Amino acid sequence: MKHSKLAACKLYISEGRNAAALEAIERAAGHHPQATITKKFPDYAYNRTRYTIVSYLIEEDEARVVDSPLRQALFAMAEEAYKTIELGTQCGAHPRVGVVDHISFHPLAQSTLHEVANLAKLVAADIGGRLHVPVLLYEAADPQGRALSSLRRELDYFTPNFMGNQWAGWSLPNVLPISPDEGPQCVDQDKGVVFVGASPWVDNYNIPVLTKDVDLVRTIARRVSARGGGLPGVQALALLHGDKLEIASMFLEPDRIGDKEVQREVELLASEEGLRVEKGYYTDLSKETTTKSYMKLASAD
């Protein structure tokens, strides 16, 4: 490969039902073929879609990343998302604070976390300055190193605001209670806010629980998460998913704690409450498979 330093970006769009809008977003990405979509994961119940996109880094010198095809592709996709989706008119069973809700960067191949954090800051400046959307930086992209979960709590991200277990897009404050790192302090209710950050690779794993008792599953999710005294590096959230509930989990240290440990712990906690649990599923490719998929697609191109 000509370029050995790669970055992956997970772009979360608060839309999983409007096929025309998603097709428009993907066409915008298609104008930047050197950035490759390695995985698309739409979810109708959550009304949310995640795109995993990979490309190479362009360096001015060894100390600074100055560009990447990812930057142009992400801007085009975000711009199209804001044109085709109105946050204030939709809702879903997954939290949301923006049309483009979350953009996370992760190093692949020979790149470093510092390098992809530089790219994250460039993308944040593009969205805040050119699209006039408030941007909150987190982890390696944030000078203060704030955790994504902490920023989300400051915006009541985890509290359902519509029909008990749904999140609506029209409940954001007109002025952010915390200062954005890029973009205006005032919030456009049709666009919302976006979190942008950089971290080591994160795996997402969802486990269906066969009950409609939301409070009970929330208790299990809290007990399995690191914050609740459970497994290290695990974050978990109970969400309504169709006619059942899911524990949506994130593995912040996937080489240390993975699906086997989390599946076993959820099954144990659920059995104490007399509940049955289905086999969980990953919502994205692994870090290694993502890299291989990009290499194969880039070589073909």
Alpha-carbon distances, residue 94 vs 15, 57, 219, 294 (angstroms): 10, 32, 18, 29
Q: How far is CA 245 from CA 46, 172, 212, 213, in A?
A: 11, 26, 6, 8
To the query of whether residue 106 is one of the catalytic residues in this protein, the response is: no
Query: In the beta sheet, which residues pair with residue 59?
Result: 65
State both tokens at 128.
């805040």
- Pairing of the two strands 167-168 and 58-61: unpaired
- Tokens representing 146? 């704030």
Q: What whole-number distance in Å separates Cα of residue 103 and Cα of residue 95? A: 15
Phi and psi at residue 166, in whole multiples of 5°? -120, 155
Rounded-to-integer distance, Cα 16 and Cα 292, Å:
27
What are the start-end ranges of the H helices in 131-240? 148-154, 214-224
In the set 94, 102, 106, 241, the catalytic residue is 94
Residue 91 dihedral angles phi and psi, to the nearest 5°: -150, 170
- Name the 3-class secondary structure at 267: helix
Q: For 75-102, b where at least 16 C-beta lie within 10 A, e where not — what string? A: bbbbbbbbebbbbbebbbbbbbbbbbbb
Q: Tell me which residues are annotated as active site.
A: 94
